[in-house]
């Protein structure tokens, strides 16, 4: 499709083209962005275009404009500015190259000019920046708007996700001092399988075979670990082992799981609207899932009273259900579950809560992030259901930090 640009004399725009080669590229990028978006809007209004052109076509048009406005600019620099313009139109601005880089697993924006990334478990500073705080705010709003979520002074923090499932957290002033902050935890385009996890050393072949068999045999399982330890990745890999003939309901705060199961219903919690109404928490979705004839319920993460409903589901015919929670050890996971059940508002004696956990949970998988950044399953334990006096765990597999090897206990 043709694209016509008015022919300006370079010196009538903002200095000669020779001057524009060495000056700050931000004004040129802004100018090209404005011209290109105006042209696309006009063509869509006139019916010439039915949708925004694809990335390659946009880049061609942007480079044509740049060549017209700054013909003496080096070709490589023209290409960089064209990519930046396209990222502003259909991507996430300066972050788009990081999102396209499969080796980057986390993006952390502290300030417009302070961006860090995680690569191979190590944090490093990215040589990229936003033009200013308003551009950073614009990118945050672009992420949350399609999800029906909002971020403003009355609701200055939000959890969201990108179309590929990557997890996003944004927080703005007055809660963030000085500048908005944005964190993106990327997810692989292809979900990790147990085979992938064994290949990268998260678990051993023997552990993978044991877990796959346990999922098929409908053992209810809790994955515990710290933030960023890989709990959701492991949960997804285990979910891929569920037989096709079963009906699976997944429940998450922000949809991240990629189970690709033929009989799957995915539910996502909803935050309150601008009037503070309409919130649908995970606990409500867990109770609703019980009416949807599930074979298994998978809760992305339990943090509060929904733990009670999840345990109830595991105890009432939904064996093989799975969830994750934050805990420093398998033993600590028991304590966390007990406290979360109490958060449900039921005045149950501690022994009754422990009995509920004992009857519901078969296995606890502990996952940790090591000092070198690697994510490792450090233990798999089974819950002793014969003890009536207290909860008791027995390790099946453990991880030796000195040798870096998994072994059967």
Residue 288 has pLDDT above 70, yes or no: yes
| 264: nearest Cα among 308, 287, 296 | 296
Helix orientation angle between 330-342 and 350-360, rounded to the nearest 10 degrees: 120
Residue 113: the pLDDT is 93
Taking the C-alpha atoms of residue 270 and residue 279, their distance in angstroms, rounded to an integer, is 5
pLDDT, average across residues 296-314: 92
Q: Find the DSSP H helices in 268-377.
A: 282-289, 306-315, 330-342, 350-360
Q: Per-residue pLDDT tens for 270-281? A: 887 767 788 899
Residue 125: the pLDDT is 94
For 96-185, CATH gives: 3.30.450.90
Residue 299: the pLDDT is 94
pLDDT, average across residues 198-214: 95
Q: Domain 194-408: what homologous superfamily?
A: P-loop containing nucleotide triphosphate hydrolases (3.40.50.300)
**What burial letters (b/e) apply to 111-135, b meaning 16+ CB within 10 Å?**
ebeebebbeeeeeeebebebbebeb
Contact 299, 310 (CB under 8 A): yes
Percent over 90 (pLDDT), the chain: 48
Percent over 70 (pLDDT), the chain: 93
pTM (predicted TM-score): 0.76
| 17: nearest Cα among 63, 74, 88 | 74
Q: Per-residue pLDDT tens for 352-379? A: 899 999 999 999 999 999 988 889 999 9
**Least reliable range by pLDDT among 102-116, 123-137, 214-228:** 123-137
Domain spans in the chain, listed from the N-terminal domain onward: 11-90, 96-185, 194-408
Sheet containing 393-400: order of strands: 264-268, 248-252, 296-299, 322-326, 221-225, 363-369, 375-383, 393-400, 405-408
Q: Per-residue pLDDT tens for 331-352? A: 999 999 999 999 988 888 988 8
Q: Find the DSSP H helices in 290-407.
A: 306-315, 330-342, 350-360
Residue 22 has pLDDT above 70, yes or no: no
Residue 197: the pLDDT is 95
Residue 24: the pLDDT is 57
Helix (H, G, I), strand (E, B) or coil at 93: helix
Reported confidence tier of residue 10, pLDDT bands at 50, 70, 90: very low
Residue 385 has pLDDT above 70, yes or no: yes
């Amino acid at each position: 499709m043709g694209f016509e640009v008015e022919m300006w004399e370079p010196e009538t725009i903002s200095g000669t083209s020779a001057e524009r080669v060495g000056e700050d590229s931000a004004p040129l990028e802004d100018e090209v962005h404005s011209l290109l978006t105006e042209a696309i809007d006009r063509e869509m209004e006139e019916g010439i275009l039915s949708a925004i052109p694809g990335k390659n076509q946009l880049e061609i048009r942007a480079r044509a404009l740049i060549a017209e406005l700054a013909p003496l600019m080096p070709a490589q620099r023209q290409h960089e500015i064209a990519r930046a313009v396209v990222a502003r139109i259909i991507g996430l601005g300066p972050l788009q190259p990081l999102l396209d880089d499969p080796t980057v697993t986390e993006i952390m924006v502290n300030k417009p000019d302070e961006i860090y990334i995680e690569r191979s478990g190590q944090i490093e500073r990215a040589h990229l920046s936003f033009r200013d705080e308003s551009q950073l705010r614009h990118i945050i709003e672009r992420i949350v708007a399609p999800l029906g979520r909002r971020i403003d002074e009355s609701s200055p923090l939000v959890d969201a996700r990108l179309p590929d499932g990557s997890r996003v957290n944004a927080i703005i002033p007055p809660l963030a001092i000085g500048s908005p902050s944005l964190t993106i935890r990327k997810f692989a385009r292809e979900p990790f399988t147990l085979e992938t996890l064994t290949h990268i050393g998260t678990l051993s072949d023997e552990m993978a075979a044991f877990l796959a068999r346990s999922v098929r045999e409908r053992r209810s399982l809790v994955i515990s670990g710290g933030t960023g330890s890989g709990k959701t990745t492991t949960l997804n890999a285990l979910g891929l082992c569920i037989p096709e003939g079963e009906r699976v309901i997944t429940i998450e705060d922000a949809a991240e799981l990629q189970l690709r199961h033929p009989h799957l219903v995915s539910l996502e919690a909803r935050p309150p609207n601008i009037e503070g109404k309409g919130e649908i928490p995970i606990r409500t979705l867990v109770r609703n899932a019980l009416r949807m004839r599930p074979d298994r319920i998978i809760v992305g993460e339990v943090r509060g009273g929904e733990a009670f409903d999840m345990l109830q589901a595991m105890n009432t015919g939904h064996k093989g259900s799975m969830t994750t929670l934050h805990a420093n050890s398998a033993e600590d996971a028991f304590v966390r579950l007990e406290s979360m059940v109490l958060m449900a508002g039921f005045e149950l004696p501690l022994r009754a809560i422990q009995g509920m956990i004992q009857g519901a949970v078969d296995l606890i998988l502990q996952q940790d992030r090591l000092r070198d950044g690697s994510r490792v399953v450090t233990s798999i334990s089974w819950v002793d259901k014969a003890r009536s006096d207290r909860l008791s765990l027995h390790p099946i597999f453990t991880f030796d930090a000195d040798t870096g090897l998994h072994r059967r206990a």
